[in-house]
Amino acid sequence: MRVLITGAAGGIGRLIRSRLRRDGRELRLFDIATVAPAEDGEPVELLTGSVTDPSAVRAACDGVDAIIHLGGLSREAPWADTLDVNVNGTQVLLEAAREAGVRRVILASSNHAVGYHPVTDNVAADLAPQPDTYYGVSKAAIEALGALYAHRFGMDVICVRIGMCFPKPMGVRGLALWLSPDDCGRLLEACLSAPSPGYRLVWGVSRNTRGYVSLAEAEALGYKSQDDSEVFAAEILASDTAAHPENEVIGGGFTITPLGEANPL
């Protein structure tokens, strides 16, 4: 089985590379930036290119069984860039996947597609978009493109509204939204292997004690989280003591970042 990972040089791409290693699986790693070279015997193929370049993306999709599309801007940026890289880039990817006969595509969406939703218990994964930034708008558009390709062409498209995937959660908000790197690997495995999922929208988070989004939709695909941010709670609560009124909505700090300007994490 060959799996294409776009954005393989990015934060999540680097975290999942070793975690998705399986006998009989080859990873094709695609990025505009340099991807770390293969380790001894590591079954990977490295391709350089932009997600907005149709011929490079078509070549990347050739002979592929499934795609994990992480490529794109991962935070707020000027509208023209966001539209081009995230929205146009995803259309280019889905169209190339369709042409190449790739049956399954996993799209990296984000909590910022619904960043203005208030923090309430058990927030469902299929919540209508309430983006908090241009970046959030692009993620809502990515989900819509995925739905179009799934419904029109019968492709399996799973959009994962990722909370926050770093080695450790960042700040108090991260205690609720953390997706541990190991759980990210588990969730992507479930997305790759679930039988005939069609179009799905799921949250990508760990089973955090302080979590508030629903895991049920991801669990229906076979995901079983094994991690909980609570192990970092004491350390984070001691260092992040400021009041955070922005954290009353899911998107937190993104909701107060100026539109179109690069924001800190």
Q: Report the interface residues with ligand 15L, using CB under 6 A.
A: 74-75, 110-112, 164, 265
Q: Minimal distance in Å, beta carbon 111 to ligand 15L?
A: 5
Give the integer Cα–Cα distance in Å for 124 and 217.
Answer: 8
Q: What one-character-per-residue DSSP string does 158-177 give? A: EEEEE-B-SSS--HHHHHHH
Q: What is the DSSP letter of 245?
A: G
User: If DSSP codes are grouped into helix, strand and coil, which group holds residue 36?
Assistant: coil
Nearest Cα to Cα of residue 17 among 33, 32, 35: 35
Residue 206 and residue 178 in contact, taking contact as beta carbons nearer than 8 Å = yes
CA–CA distances in Å: residue 89 to residues 6, 169, 182, 218:
10, 28, 27, 25
Annotation says 116 is catalytic: no
Q: Minimal distance in Å, beta carbon 227 to ligand 15L?
A: 17
Output the residue with the shortest Cβ distance to ligand 15L. 110
Other C-beta atoms closer than 10 Å to the C-beta of 121 total: 8
Ramachandran angles phi, psi of 107, nearest 5°: -105, 135
Q: Minimal distance in Å, beta carbon 93 to ligand 15L?
A: 17
Q: Minimal distance in Å, beta carbon 17 to ligand 15L?
A: 18
Select 61 or 252, whichever has its Cβ closest to ligand 15L.
252
Q: Minimal distance in Å, beta carbon 238 to ligand 15L?
A: 20
Select 169 or 197, whichever has its Cβ closest to ligand 15L.
169
Select 7 or 197, whichever has its Cβ closest to ligand 15L.
7
Select 197 or 251, whichever has its Cβ closest to ligand 15L.
251
User: If DSSP codes are grouped into helix, strand and coil, which group holds residue 118?
Assistant: strand
Nearest Cα to Cα of residue 122 among 205, 3, 40, 196: 205
Give the integer Cα–Cα distance in Å for 205 and 217.
Answer: 11
Place of tokens 């490529």: 71
**Catalytically annotated residue among 134, 135, 149, 223:** 135
Select 99 or 248, whichever has its Cβ closest to ligand 15L.
248
Select 136 or 197, whichever has its Cβ closest to ligand 15L.
136
Residue 52 and residue 88 in contact, taking contact as beta carbons nearer than 8 Å = yes
Residue 99's identity, in one-letter code, is: E
Q: Minimal distance in Å, beta carbon 135 to ligand 15L?
A: 7
Catalytic residues: 135
